[in-house]
Amino acid sequence: MAHADSLEAYRALLRRDPGLGGALCVTWCQGAPEVVAERFGADLSTAVPSTLDAARAAEPEYQVPLPTVLLVGDLGEGWSLAVEINGFQGTRPEVLRALTAGGETAYAAYWNINLDSRVVLAESGRVVGAIEPFDGDDMWGAAPERLSRHFEGLPLGRPSDDLLQVPDTDIKAAALLAGERATGRGVDAGWLDRRHVRYLITDGLAPDGPALNELADHPLVRADPRLGEIVADPVPARLPTLLDIYVTTILDYCELDDPDVARARALVADRPAGHEADQAVQRLEAVYDRLKRSGIAARARGGGDEGPGSEAQHRFQGCDAVRALISALDPDPTHAMEETIWAARNRGWPGIEERLALLSDIFELIREGTP
């Protein structure tokens, strides 16, 4: 149901059910609940009437990324709400394309206990705007202003330094309120208490990138023997090499001349763990902070310009490259690759976008399993 545009209303929902503040993905989308579940890639044979509490109790022991429970319920006027307690399927481009391919709109808000987060608006089969609400004002998508217009008066889309004193609950409540603004449909305690339908997502939607035989013929694969070996045998054991190629592509592009970056870069393919990796991450966080401050200063000098070719853009691309390198040092290569790709999605990479997209497609084939 629709209700007054109020941040406090969503704060109250999060206080009422503290579990929602831990890990959650909420997706506003158009279509009947069963249609929405199918577009998410859920197994329709698992449909069971359920409350949110029952759905939470039915959630399998957390695995990344699947299986996960999906609760879908009617919001009125052709809208449905899909809730994942420990999932993030609603933020996947494949799911958003499926939800909006017929001209519909979808809005997803996601966070977890580590404050990894995403807010995404999709329209007519494409992501028009996306942001990490806990990580400042970097936005991406085909038309980010279509998302940011819903942030007026909210602690979203602000520089990271401005968010330091904002309670986490306020940012999460703001992400939910922006969903109401984007769709015109609010969520209240009554919706949380009512019975809806829960499904299990076991396989999810397959990535919609090119097939394996198409990748093998890709000019960039033919030109790089390491990629050729990965595509010829796309198994998880190849992920450290793929990670190394991905990170090296971004770092070479940014031309970061920093000894801490160079040392950490050398560790990626070796998959270090423990003290060595922790030290590298700490040093990289300091590099990230320096680059970010210099980017903010460059943006101020340029009158707010951080467009293509600007000094500010170059600095902020360096920030994204360092964040990708930090993600690549995660000891779990699958999670490391997921987070590295996300870290690099914040802004455009002219000249290497095709290569990064290819590497992402290869990763999806490895993750989903290729016969």
Number of helices (H) and strands (E), helices first, in the chain?
17, 9
pLDDT of residue 211: 55
**What would the pLDDT profile of 138-174 be if each residue is shown by its tens digit?**
777 678 889 999 999 999 988 877 888 899 999 999 9
Q: How many Å apart are CA 326 and CA 289, to the nearest integer?
A: 13
Residues of the chain with pLDDT under 50: 1-4, 370-371
pLDDT of residue 135: 77
**What would the pLDDT profile of 250-291 be if each residue is shown by its tens digit?**
999 998 889 999 999 988 887 766 788 889 999 999 999 999
- Beta-carbon-side half-sphere exposure of residue 277 (alpha carbons within 13 Å): 17
DSSP assignment of 109-152: EEE-TT--EEEEEEETTEEEEEE-TTS-S-EESS-THHHHGGGT
Where do the domains of the chain lie?
Answer: 7-201, 212-368
pLDDT of residue 298: 87
3-state secondary structure of 80: strand
pLDDT of residue 2: 44
